[in-house]
């Protein structure tokens, strides 16, 4: 094993998976991007292929073997939610590394570790999916993230689905037509409104991440002043604020105790409308300290790997 100490962080997501390797000083020595490791979308084999390609890329860039990695953390989407698949994913990670100096966990940990640099507090993730995670005095808790079929409130997927639903209601007269209706027609290049059914659900319909990619259509309508689109963003902010409140209570923060809170994921990182509405709600609910993310989730995963062996790079 090499004398140099390297820590590998893997941030899996619904759209892509990022691999970061840092040294003992916290310097990024390699970075690789592969496809999603969301096994519910690509299957176990697809997830393992992405992990294998990422580890190979990191090792090629640094000129080291997997055995030279001091420790690795794999933050994987939906990990911890399937007692049959979890052990298989864990075993495959060990096989790819060739040693047992690693840990698997949910990708929510990556967002928290990056945004707050592994310090106590709460991180809200709103990307393709949504979930909240926090730690306080050694206690950890999660909220939300039950999947797109009946949860993931406030996520890009959820926002897009609300927008698509509003489009249908505008089309058939249940809601007055607004900017949202025309925005979806342009984005999906619809000749007739009913063509949206085949575009989204047909033989060549949209995958989960592609549906999530329609969330900016709702943001476009919000910017144009569409009241229905604005209500969707308001509802998204309400849902994310409820996640924060649930975590604040579960983690045992006192009513007057400052609560560091940060965020990750495309919705809260890129959409000032949703984030602004969320911050407004948090200020009214409690003593939240809004913290700009310190690092990316992928860097956070590598930082978390280092913390597992008692090291604090930087």
Look up the CATH number of the domain holding residue 193. 3.30.420.40
Q: Are residues 15 and 52 in the same domain?
A: yes
Q: What is the largest CA-CA distance in the chain?
A: 69
Q: Are residues 289 and 300 in the same domain?
A: no
Whether 33 shows a pLDDT value over 70: the answer reads yes
Grade residue 130 by pLDDT with cuts at 50, 70 and 90.
very high
Whether 276 shows a pLDDT value over 90: the answer reads yes
Q: Residue 270: enclosing H or E segment and its boundaries?
A: helix 266-270
Residue 312 inside a domain? The answer is no
Grade residue 15 by pLDDT with cuts at 50, 70 and 90.
confident
Cα–Cα distance for residue pair 301/188, rounded to 1 Å: 36
Least Cα distance to 228 among 276, 148, 170 occurs for 170
Q: How many structural domains compose the chain?
A: 2
* Residue 130 lies in domain: 118-293
For residue 12, report the phi and psi dihedrals to the nearest 5 degrees.
-80, 150
Q: Are residues 27 and 141 in the same domain?
A: no
Order of all β-strands in the sheet with 259-264: 139-143, 130-136, 121-126, 259-264, 288-290
The three-point CA angle 112-277-188 to 5° equals 90
**What average pLDDT score do residues 156-162 get?**
98
Q: Are residues 132 and 245 in the same domain?
A: yes
Cα–Cα distance for residue pair 164/168, rounded to 1 Å: 6
Q: Are residues 29 and 160 in the same domain?
A: no
Grade residue 143 by pLDDT with cuts at 50, 70 and 90.
very high
Q: Residue 150: enclosing H or E segment and its boundaries?
A: none
């Amino acid at each position: 094993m090499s004398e140099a100490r390297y820590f590998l962080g893997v941030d899996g997501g619904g759209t892509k998976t990022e691999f970061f390797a840092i040294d003992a000083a916290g310097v990024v020595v390699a970075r690789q991007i592969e496809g999603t490791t969301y096994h519910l979308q690509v299957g176990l084999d697809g997830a393992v292929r992405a992990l294998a390609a990422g580890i190979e890329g990191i090792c090629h860039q640094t000129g080291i073997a997997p055995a030279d990695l001091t420790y690795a953390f794999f933050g994987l989407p939906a990990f911890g939610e399937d007692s049959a698949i979890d052990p298989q994913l864990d075993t495959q990670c060990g096989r790819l590394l060739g040693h047992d100096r690693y840990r698997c966990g949910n990708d929510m940990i990556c967002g928290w570790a990056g945004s707050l640099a592994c310090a106590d507090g709460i991180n809200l993730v709103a990307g393709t999916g949504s979930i909240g995670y926090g730690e306080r005095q050694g206690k950890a808790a999660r909220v939300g993230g039950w999947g797109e079929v009946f949860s993931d409130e406030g996520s890009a997927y959820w926002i897009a689905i609300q927008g698509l639903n509003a489009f249908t209601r505008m089309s058939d007269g249940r809601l007055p037509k607004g900017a949202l209706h025309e925005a979806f027609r342009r984005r999906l290049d619809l000749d007739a409104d009913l063509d949206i059914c085949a575009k989204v659900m047909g033989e060549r319909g949209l995958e989960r991440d592609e549906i999530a990619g329609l969330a900016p259509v709702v943001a476009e309508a919000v910017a144009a002043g569409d009241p229905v689109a604005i209500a969707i963003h308001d509802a998204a902010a309400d849902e994310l604020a409820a996640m924060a409140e649930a975590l604040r209570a579960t983690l045992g923060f006192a009513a007057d105790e400052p609560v560091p809170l940060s965020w990750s994921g495309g919705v809260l990182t890129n959409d000032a409308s949703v984030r602004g509405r969320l911050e407004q709600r948090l200020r009214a609910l409690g003593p939240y300290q809004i913290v700009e993310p310190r690092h990316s989730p992928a860097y956070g995963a590598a930082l978390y790997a280092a913390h597992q062996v008692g090291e604090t790079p930087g």
